[in-house]
Structure 1
Amino acid sequence: MNGHIRIRGARTHNLANIDVDIPRNQLVVITGVSGSGKSSLAFDTLLAEGQRQYIDSLSVYTRQFFDQLERPDVDSIEGLQPAVAVDQSVGSHNARSTVGTVTEVYDHLRVLFSRAGTLACAECGTVIEQQSPAEIEESIGAMPMDARVMIVAPLVRGRKGKHSEVLDSARKAGFARVRIDGVTYPIDEVPELGARKIHDISAVVDRIVIREGIENRLAESVRLALKHGDGVLEIVYQIRENGEKSDVWKERVFSTHFACHRCGTSVAEVEPRTFSFNSPYGACAECGGLGVNEGFDPEMVLPDLTMSLSGGAIAPWRGDSKTRQQKHRKLLEAFDWDQPLESWSEEKRQKLLTGDGKKFHGLLLELEIEWAGTKSDKRRAHLSEFRGEVVCADCNGSRLGPAARTSRVGGLAIEELTSLTIAATRKFFETVEFDVERQPIATPLVREIQHRLKFLEKAGVGYLTLARRADTLSGGELQRVRLASAIGSGLVGVMYLLDEPSIGLHPRDNGRLIETLRELQQQGNSVIVVEHEEAFMREADYLVDCGPGAGRAGGHIVATGTPTEVAECEKSLTGRYLSNNQSTEIRTPRKALKTKRLVLEGATLHNLKDATLDIPLGLFTCVTGVSGSGKSSLVIETLARQLARQLHGAVAKPGPFRSLRGTAALDRAVLVDQSPIGRTPRSNAATYTGIFDDIRKIFAGTKLARQRGWKTGRFSFNVQGGRCEECQGQGLKKVEMNFLPDLFIECPVCHGARFNRETLRVTYRDKSIADVLALSIGEAVEFFTNFASVKRILQALVDVGLDYLPLGQPSTTLSGGEAQRIKLATELGRPTSGHTLYILDEPTTGLHPYNVEQLLSVLHQLVDAGNTVVVIEHQTSVMRSADWIIDLGPDGGSDGGQVIYTGPAAEIADCEESHTGRWLRNHL
């Protein structure tokens, strides 16, 4: 037990009563083919037992608020440390959550801006400082000896007029001098002021030289200046430099309240909650702290207005009567529609949208008026195509109210700072300076902020901004953000469990992530990583290889030891890849010389810089580049969405682009991404692919079902009748864990069968419908061999390497890679004309090199049938197997967004500017 986590008799899911010792306080990688039992060992056994033991350690009173967690199916686990999981769970769907809030960097920024920020007037930008009279006296008295100081009381600030009454009042109050527009005059020698000019007038209260014994005089002068200046005091001072008199006079303003001494605007005292967009005290009143509102999106409306008014219906009013069409043409007649919209200036575009204040009140306002007034459901449905999230006009997307914009750190407001990339934010805090009074407050906050930002950079997400919404992050990005938060906590003696942290990382960045994990381990923690990436396996202190196969053929420990020891194990499939005895076959690339092309030009979404995407049709294309270089923005958010609109009538808004050519050669575009196939345990591979409908028909056609008059609905766990009502057909019950992740435990009534006893009495070939759902997909192929429609889909699932997966496994337990392969198999099972474009987002997620070979074989079959396959990938085998490579970069964030290389895969190694090319050249 010393120095090891000792597991005996683990039988969770497909684990075959295994025994394994995992060294503590080391970097351990658990690997194996998909479905071999890796996650069952790491998460469903180690993590589950860690959570259960944690709850058991709480007091009896506290435990009453938690449901009793079921112990994982294991004889014993000894030496277990407190467990922290950093998994692949899908990003938060709360639009209020950002990278800054997830990492808690934003919480530190709120305190920093409220306690050490410099207030500035929102109207004129004047710095606002609040001090008590005693603090003002102390600040002036602390100036260098022999400094010459003029104490003045502001009377007029930035107002036109002769201000005779103000000067008369100053004379009656006994002041001998006044300062007007920066010049000091005796009160009886003031020149006549221009009535139409803006003036600043102050009464000179005292002129002193800083030296010993002036405390009483200074206190009286400050009191008098604050009285006549309505709580505001100015000093004009001259300091000797190197013992010599200086001719430079400087000014400084002191105030006893939060108000601008120049324009009089009052400023509420700022607190940390002032900067919270989740609090009514800080959130923008217009958008409620979301930064966006629902409305007509200019980027959705304008592209449909490129036609001349002389031809066809104007897009937003398409389908209107001729009378309304004529009305809208008349509204727009002032605009020159003979020029393409792309050539219009930004000023002209804005004039079209918001109007010129005369004849036309703006396209967006006209649409909003019609949206609010129409009673036609058909008309509203059409107009809804042009609506979406638009940046809030009040806060300009910052989410915050006006008060939050009054505080500055280093000259930046908090929304400006969070809009910088994480890398740029860290550099900002390396150079920012605070005055002597704020230094003690700012130092510990800045130290903690920099600490977390450095870890985020090391984790490979330095290109993100703190203001980036968490629900827009990929699974890999969110996992690395959480990892940085875990590292920043500084815990030691903890067992960290990570699920494929390399997802979405370019091979160039793997080293930095491994270094981060190594740092976490060297702090005194056990770091256990479920991974297939070769770089991680080679850098591990200890490898645990599960297998030898998947599902029932897996669940064993094939090999353990150092990477070298596993590489020497002949039984280990992983070992064969590590020893280079088995590698992916390199195909002869197809030629792209005479193929038709799909060309997207002028893409500018997010960080894209007028990017052009050139895809040869009928080939296998790999789009690669470092994290944050713009791959998803270009391929998924721009190309895929535009194809969905153009080919399938979808309403999703694509990113802005100039033109798209070549779509005439396509009849379908299919996006296969990693989004879940369902969000409840009732969803599974059978329901998603549609074969469950056929299976229910088979059971409804049995003799017993016909005798009882049961239809297909009886065998559905989505409606009442045949399902178990205790768990409502889920087979699992959700346990809310408050601050711990929610858990699902087996239903105590149906024991996971999902159906009630009466329904389970109906059998087909001696199996109930619950027994059928428990079959692996490989077994189901044989079971339904006489049903062609069912067998075709099941065979496609086998072809993509999912033969081990239980047919009814809940979607909530599927990895992103498994969900993506289920979607791919669903498409494979459908007839194809050979003119389909398949777009896949990192399809090798969760795949062992052996499974990657299976997937590549399927993708090449699609291309051989005449289809086009485009994958966003970094995996070496995929890049080597591609016919065509498009590489984005050169780096991430603002340093990316350019197409660095487009051409045959074999030639990218010669591209010096490409990180992908250099990596392939140096490592292959």
Structure 2
Amino acid sequence: FKVSQGDIREKLADSIEVTFKEGENRLVLINADTNEIKDFNKFYECCGIKYEEPEPRFFSFNNPFGACPVCQGFSKTIGIDMNLVIPNLNLSIMDGAIAPFRTAKYSSYSRDLIQNAKQFNIAINIPFKELTPQQVSLIRKGFGSFKGIDKFFEKLEEKTYKMHIRVLLSRYRGYTTCSACKGSRLRREALQVKIGGKSIYDVVKMPIEHSLSFFENLKLSEYDMMVSERVFKEIIKRLTFLNNVGIGYLTLERLSSTLSGGETQRINLATSLGSALVGTLYVLDEPSIGLHPRDNLKLINILKNLRDIGNSVLVVEHDPEMMKHADILIDMGPKAGINGGEIIARGTYDEVLKNPDSITGKYLSGKIKIPVPSERRTDMTKEIEITGAAENNLKNINVNIPLNRFVVITGVSGSGKSTLVHDILYGGIAKYFGMAPSKVGKYDDIKGGQYIDDIEIVDQSPIGKTPRSNPISYIKAFEIIREIFASTHQARARGYKPGYFSFNVPGGRCETCQGDGFIKVEMQFLADIYLECEDCNGTRFKKEIREITYR
């Protein structure tokens, strides 16, 4: 365009502004003399890849904006589970490590693999677990005339209209690590933002003690430090609390459902410490449950720390070590239930020890003791043999558990006790009996299941499936009680069946509260409140049902 010398800057500015606006925030300038092209835009873009502007929700897998679009932030997708395809990693390819290739129909895949293995330097006579990740990747993707495990299943997916193919595929399906985010749960762009050469996923994969060291040694520019100073200090402060409570070995990405009871307690305590509240009364109900004696002292020091910064700490506890460190002990009793409810002793540890009425004091002083058996059962018995247990932090261990004995598995908090008992022993034996355990850990083999008739696990999970459950209904004794009341002369005269004496079904239950015994009042801006039902006075039954008496 033709412009005079004086107006060129204004004309160019106007033209560029209009072009930039009409070009949807993009502009290309071409040098007429050299044909040099320069791209301009207002986006975070490099090499043709457009990035979103980073913000907090961008790094959260709980937010659709930051979550991986394939797995929706869960880190796992339903696909072919390699643990089912290769169930025994101790077998070699020659011995049939790859389960679907063992059948006569698909044995041609196994032959192709063996024929091409030497050419691509893949050992076929060593356990599958000893193959390198590169070799396993080749076996999955294929090489030479061998199509690969992934292509094998892709081919089967094309024939899912056949019933037997769907059944075959279901044997090898499970939750597998998301192929898009590789288990990070975040979108690809979030992982490309790095600080100190590490993405957010690299940091959360590290144990807490290593993460703390990383942030303490991180060097930032003066401007970056000025912008992030408060956040930076808060990160170091919170990681320090977690490290101080003795869980520095945990990774930040560890699922809360896989934590032991002791680890969960200490994380809750670290949260209380991190809040730095003053003048607060902390009430803890048996915090030492599930803790090893080694970890007890750490817990006690945390509670003393809470006291020293200006708080009050009240603990309901049976642990002698905790009692020894308490400033004041209040002993209740003398016995349980209707025989309890009194204050027996109050004072320091030494004062409670000297109190003649305190049963707790007598045990603490050694006046009363629980006798230790002088003889142990040493007879040889049959055993349950676990080999290759490798779930969570278990290091491919072998364990023999003798039957018909009183066996205790102990160790420091987080050492793998619950994983071994819940996921490996219970999960494996329950699977052997055809049950459907919620989780089965990684192991090579469990022998000895034929020596027992059943397996039951008793843990700290609440009994019953509804809030209506109570101990007597849980053990099925309520059925007998209902039948007894239904068999009385009064009940038979009125035609009451056993179901009328249940507060779970319509009939004899109070219909005002639906057999709950209380009524929930919903408050619009406050927490809901529960009031005792005025019709049944909390008994859960109608008046006419309450009139039926036995003896």
**TM-score of the alignment, normalized to the shorter chain, above 0.5:** yes
Q: Does 1:724 align with 2:514?
A: no
Q: Does 1:663 align with 2:427?
A: no
Of 680-689 and 717-726, the range deviating more from structure 2: 717-726
Q: Would the aligned equivalents of 2:93 and 2:128 in 1 still touch at CA under 8 Å?
A: no
Residues 384-533 of structure 1: pairs in structure 2 closer than 5 A? 387-533=173-319
Q: Would the aligned equivalents of 2:101 and 2:107 in 1 still touch at CA under 8 Å?
A: no
Q: Would the aligned equivalents of 2:101 and 2:109 in 1 still touch at CA under 8 Å?
A: no
Where does residue 496 of structure 2 map in the other structure? 710
Q: Would the aligned equivalents of 1:637 and 1:655 in 2 still touch at CA under 8 Å?
A: yes
Q: Would the aligned equivalents of 2:333 and 2:340 in 1 still touch at CA under 8 Å?
A: yes
Where does residue 278 of structure 1 map in the other structure? 62
1:386/1:632 Cα in 2 relative to 1: closer, same or farther (>3 Å)? Answer: farther
Q: Would the aligned equivalents of 2:160 and 2:166 in 1 still touch at CA under 8 Å?
A: no
Where does residue 460 of structure 2 map in the other structure? 674
Q: CA deviation at 1:644?
A: 0.8
Q: Does 1:683 align with 2:469?
A: yes
Q: CA deviation at 1:172?
A: 3.6
- Other structure's SS at 2:223 match: coil
Q: Would the aligned equivalents of 1:300 and 1:653 in 2 still touch at CA under 8 Å?
A: no
Q: CA deviation at 1:284?
A: 1.0
Q: CA deviation at 1:281?
A: 0.9
- Other structure's SS at 2:331 match: strand
Q: Would the aligned equivalents of 2:429 and 2:446 in 1 still touch at CA under 8 Å?
A: no
Q: Does 1:369 align with 2:161?
A: no
Q: CA deviation at 1:405?
A: 0.7
Q: Would the aligned equivalents of 1:422 and 1:464 in 2 still touch at CA under 8 Å?
A: yes
- Cα-to-partner distance string for 1:575-604 (whole Å, 9 max, x where unaligned): 112222223221135254733332212211
1:374/1:715 Cα in 2 relative to 1: closer, same or farther (>3 Å)? Answer: farther
Residues 84-95 of structure 1: pairs in structure 2 closer than 5 A? none
Q: Would the aligned equivalents of 2:90 and 2:129 in 1 still touch at CA under 8 Å?
A: no
Residues 406-805 of structure 1: pairs in structure 2 closer than 5 A? 406-592=192-378, 594-650=380-436, 652-733=438-519, 745-765=531-551
Question: What is the rounded CA distance, in whole Å, between the counterparts of 1:763 and 1:371 in structure 2?
Answer: 67
1:683/1:364 Cα in 2 relative to 1: closer, same or farther (>3 Å)? Answer: farther
Question: What is the rounded CA distance, in whole Å, between the counterparts of 2:91 and 2:62 in structure 1?
Answer: 43
Question: What is the rounded CA distance, in whole Å, between the counterparts of 1:364 and 1:736 in structure 2?
Answer: 57
Q: CA deviation at 1:282?
A: 0.6
Q: CA deviation at 1:359?
A: 4.7
1:259/1:563 Cα in 2 relative to 1: closer, same or farther (>3 Å)? Answer: same
- Other structure's SS at 1:686 match: helix
- Cα-to-partner distance string for 1:271-297 (whole Å, 9 max, x where unaligned): 011011111111111111121223343
Q: CA deviation at 1:643?
A: 0.9
State which of 245, 250, 265 in structure 1 corresponds to 2:49: 265
In structure 2, give the amino acid aligned to 1:362.
Answer: D
Question: What is the rounded CA distance, in whole Å, between the counterparts of 2:33 and 2:451 in structure 1?
Answer: 90
Q: Would the aligned equivalents of 2:89 and 2:128 in 1 still touch at CA under 8 Å?
A: no
In structure 1, give the amino acid aligned to 2:544.
Answer: E
- Cα-to-partner distance string for 1:678-727 (whole Å, 9 max, x where unaligned): 25321111122222222222222222333333333222222222222333
- Other structure's SS at 2:427 match: helix
In structure 2, give the amino acid aligned to 1:271.
Answer: E
Which is strand-richer, 1 or 2? Answer: 1
In structure 2, give the amino acid aligned to 1:464.
Answer: L
Where does residue 303 of structure 1 map in the other structure? 87
Q: Does 1:287 align with 2:71?
A: yes
Q: Would the aligned equivalents of 1:734 and 1:745 in 2 still touch at CA under 8 Å?
A: yes
1:297/1:279 Cα in 2 relative to 1: closer, same or farther (>3 Å)? Answer: same
Q: Would the aligned equivalents of 1:595 and 1:618 in 2 still touch at CA under 8 Å?
A: yes
1:349/1:590 Cα in 2 relative to 1: closer, same or farther (>3 Å)? Answer: farther
- Cα-to-partner distance string for 1:760-802 (whole Å, 9 max, x where unaligned): 222223xxxxxxxxxxxxxxxxxxxxxxxxxxxxxxxxxxxxx
- Cα-to-partner distance string for 1:208-256 (whole Å, 9 max, x where unaligned): xxxxxxxxxxxxxxxxxxxx75459xxxxxxxxxxxxxxxxxxxxxxx8
- Other structure's SS at 2:49 match: coil
1:400/1:725 Cα in 2 relative to 1: closer, same or farther (>3 Å)? Answer: farther
- Other structure's SS at 1:303 match: coil
In structure 2, give the amino acid aligned to 1:477.
Answer: E
- Other structure's SS at 1:515 match: helix
Residues 117-156 of structure 1: pairs in structure 2 closer than 5 A? none
Q: Which has the higher contact order (CA 8 A, sep 6+)?
A: 1
Q: TM-score, normalised by structure 1?
A: 0.50
Where does residue 15 of structure 2 map in the other structure? none
1:425/1:596 Cα in 2 relative to 1: closer, same or farther (>3 Å)? Answer: same
- Cα-to-partner distance string for 1:112-162 (whole Å, 9 max, x where unaligned): xxxxxxxxxxxxxxxxxxxxxxxxxxxxxxxxxxxxxxxxxxxxxxxxxxx
Q: Would the aligned equivalents of 1:644 and 1:669 in 2 still touch at CA under 8 Å?
A: yes
Q: CA deviation at 1:646?
A: 1.1
In structure 2, give the amino acid aligned to 1:680.
Answer: T
In structure 2, give the amino acid aligned to 1:678.
Answer: G
Question: What is the rounded CA distance, in whole Å, between the counterparts of 2:221 and 2:104 in structure 1?
Answer: 65
Residues 817-856 of structure 1: pairs in structure 2 closer than 5 A? none
- Cα-to-partner distance string for 1:170-223 (whole Å, 9 max, x where unaligned): 89459xxxxxxxxxxxxxxxxxxxxxxxxxxxx9xxxxxxxxxxxxxxxxxxxx
In structure 2, give the amino acid aligned to 1:389.
Answer: Y
1:456/1:353 Cα in 2 relative to 1: closer, same or farther (>3 Å)? Answer: same
Q: CA deviation at 1:475?
A: 4.3
Of 623-632 and 678-687, the range deviating more from structure 2: 678-687
1:311/1:606 Cα in 2 relative to 1: closer, same or farther (>3 Å)? Answer: closer
Q: Show structure 1 runs of 5+ residues with no match.
A: 1-168, 175-202, 204-227, 233-255, 319-324, 766-924
Q: CA deviation at 1:521?
A: 1.3
Question: What is the rounded CA distance, in whole Å, between the counterparts of 1:700 and 1:660 in structure 2?
Answer: 49
Q: TM-score, normalised by structure 2?
A: 0.81
In structure 2, give the amino acid aligned to 1:539.
Answer: H
Question: What is the rounded CA distance, in whole Å, between the counterparts of 1:386 and 1:736 in structure 2?
Answer: 48
Where does residue 7 of structure 2 map in the other structure? none
In structure 2, give the amino acid aligned to 1:414.
Answer: I
- Other structure's SS at 2:45 match: coil
Question: What is the rounded CA distance, in whole Å, between the counterparts of 2:302 and 2:339 in structure 1?
Answer: 35
The alignment yields a C-alpha RMSD, in angstroms, of 3.8
- Cα-to-partner distance string for 1:721-778 (whole Å, 9 max, x where unaligned): 222233332324456789998775533432321222232222223xxxxxxxxxxxxx
Alignment length (residue pairs): 511
Question: What is the rounded CA distance, in whole Å, between the counterparts of 1:370 and 1:668 in structure 2?
Answer: 42
1:650/1:546 Cα in 2 relative to 1: closer, same or farther (>3 Å)? Answer: same
Q: CA deviation at 1:344?
A: 6.9
